Amino acid sequence: MSTLQGQPAEIATKTTASTVTTDVIRAEELRRHYRMGETVIRAVDGVSLSVRTGDFVALLGSSGSGKSSVLNLLAGLDRPTSGSVKVQGRDLAKLSREELSRYRLHTVGMVFQSFNLIASMTVAENVELPMRFAEVDRGRRDALAREALARVGLQARMNHRPSELSGGEQQRAALARALINLPQLLLADEPTGNLDSHTGIEIMNLVREFNQQLGMTVVMVTHERALAERYAQRFIFLADGKLVGDEMNSSSALRLGEHRPGVEGER
């Protein structure tokens, strides 16, 4: 798996402009309630939080606590029942359809809990899809997709369809797709949930490189406290749709990673 060192200069500078902004995300009294017949499910129930540019945040909580629902709201894939989400100062609810799709294309990259790869397309076509929407020309798309797949160790599978890949390989393809436009904000829902621990660590080291070297802000949902302790700077805990904890990571594992991002033996 390669590192960011070989990236073209334009890629290396793309996210630096945003580092002057302090808060990339600001959510206020965010609610997402689902009505199911007579009952109302309060999936997200009054969450206020802010995330600074360049942060690496782990969103923790038991199954059903509202983690994916929060992430979908931050990604602009769902609208809050009430409350607001601002990303880089822009209220997502006030964006037009076109602005919202541009936001999803350029600002945010998302790795879903279920990979959401398109079954009829090859892995390479899936990965280059965001660039097709961004009207990047074909030759460049091919080269960047190839490079993104090499980064996640999937170059040999690029002409396969998702159904021919293992769960972990599909997750890696989904990560390559999320990163291809070099978003300023990466929202990842259990990005290592289907991976063996070695591949999981490789993926997380890659995400950390993007975070540390390009200043990409990361919000990652995980069930695994150990993974959060190793990579995230901050933990946000959800329970029953409410924010019940917000702590900085003081673990020594993270400090080691911060100062030595490319430590041999961690890869």
Q: Which residues of 215-252 are buried (b: 16+ CB within 10 A; e: fewer)?
A: bbbbbbbbeeeebbbbbbbbbbbbeebebeeeeebeee
* Token pair of 104 as six digits: 């999803």
Distance CA 143, CA 127 (A): 11
Out of ligand ATP, Mg ion, none, what residue 234 binds, judged by CB under 5 to 8 A for its kind, is none
Out of Mg ion, ligand ATP, none, what residue 5 binds, judged by CB under 5 to 8 A for its kind, is none
Of these, 5, 39, 63, 120, which contacts ligand ATP (CB under 6 A)? 63
Among positions 70-109, residues that touch ligand ATP (CB under 6 A) are none
Q: How many residues bind ligand ATP (CB under 6 A)?
A: 13
Out of ligand ATP, Mg ion, none, what residue 43 binds, judged by CB under 5 to 8 A for its kind, is ligand ATP
Of these, 65, 68, 181, 184, which contacts Mg ion (CB under 5 A)? 68
23-36/39-52 β-pairing:
antiparallel
Minimum CB distance to Mg ion smaller for 59 or for 131: 59
153 binds ligand ATP (CB under 6 A): no
Among positions 35-54, residues that touch ligand ATP (CB under 6 A) are 36, 41, 43
Of these, 19, 21, 26, 64, which contacts ligand ATP (CB under 6 A)? 64
In this chain, which residue has its C-beta nearest to Mg ion? 68
Point out which span in 62-70, 91-99, 152-160, 200-208 binds Mg ion (CB under 5 A): 62-70
User: Do the Cβ atoms of 169 and 200 come closer than 8 Å?
Assistant: no
Minimum CB distance to ligand ATP smaller for 130 or for 193: 193
67 binds ligand ATP (CB under 6 A): yes
CB of 61 to ligand ATP, least distance (A): 6
> Which residues are paired to 24 by β-bridges?
none
Among positions 163-222, residues that touch ligand ATP (CB under 6 A) are none
Out of Mg ion, ligand ATP, none, what residue 193 binds, judged by CB under 5 to 8 A for its kind, is none
Of these, 3, 19, 113, 155, which contacts ligand ATP (CB under 6 A)? 113
How many CB atoms lie under 10 A from the CB of residue 171?
A: 28
Residue ranges in contact with Mg ion by CB under 5 A? 68, 113
Residue ranges in contact with ligand ATP by CB under 6 A? 34, 36, 41, 43, 61, 63-69, 113
